[in-house]
Amino acid sequence: MKKNAKNVGLLIAIGVLVVVVGGLTYLYFSQRTELTELVEQMTIEKEELEEEYEDLAIQFDGFQELDIRNDSLQDLLSREQQRVQDLLEELRVTKASNARRINELKKELATMREVMKDYVRQIDSLNVTNARLTEENQLVKRENQLVKNENQQLSTLNSQLSETVSRASMLEVSACALKTLDKNDKKTSFQRKVRKLQFDFVIAKNITCEPGLKNLYARIMDPEGNLMGEDPAHVFTFESGEIPYSLVQQFEYSGEVYEGVCYYPLAEEEVAQAGIYSIDFFCDGNMIGSYPFQLKK
């Protein structure tokens, strides 16, 4: 009886042990399956987190291509861009089983996204400001160009007015008549006897011309186009240069009509040729008259 009781107790103990070992085995494989599934899930989450970090890094790269005219903001963007890159590199080497660090990196990502939104708002604000300033700058440029154009027009008008006034104040030889004289200063019509040329001229009335003592210069060109009576010492100023003259006559001008006479004596060896001559008058640096005349044989 005692032996049978011991056998029953042993069987019961073995049965309990089998049940316990079976339960432990089931629990082990069950937890291992759950752990494997958890690791797989964490791996997927890690890969998704990497993609989100990569997307954020691309967005920061895009900011670097913008024309952000704010050095402080540009520096902040560069630092945040580097931080995103550093976190991405850390995430890549972090094991999927390190749930604590992966969760921390998720929080870091959320923070970085908020930072990104703030930068987007600042950049938008800067773009609006820059667009307004650009528009104002263009407006100022247009206004400056208008003022410049107006000044140029005024300058042109002033130049035209000055030229008009200058022309209005110029003297004018309104008439000129030639007389040919012989050696006795008597009028002659014989070309071979001519020894002096007499020019009777008239200067028109001009009340805008400054009155006073003036020099009237004359250049006489012979039929061959040569200047008569040319002398290196006899020059006057005309158009920023000096040119020679044939004769000079000084006169007093009062603004009224002036009638004058000037003479050109031929040199001893000089012969008056037959043909068409011309005489040009100059005064106050201006050419004030030009007349042709003819000597006949």
Tell me: the pLDDT tens digits for 58-115?
A: 877 776 666 566 667 777 777 877 887 888 788 787 876 787 888 888 888 788 788 7
* Interval 152-171 mean pLDDT: 62
Question: Higher model confidence: residue 151 or residue 221?
Answer: 221
Q: How far is CA 186 from CA 189, 190, 262, 273, 295, in A?
A: 10, 11, 15, 19, 16
User: Which contacts qualify for 206-209: CB closer than 8 Å, 24 or more apart?
Assistant: 206/168, 206/169, 206/170, 206/171, 206/172, 206/255, 207/255, 208/165, 208/168, 208/169, 209/169, 209/170, 209/171, 209/253, 209/255, 209/284
pLDDT at 252: 95
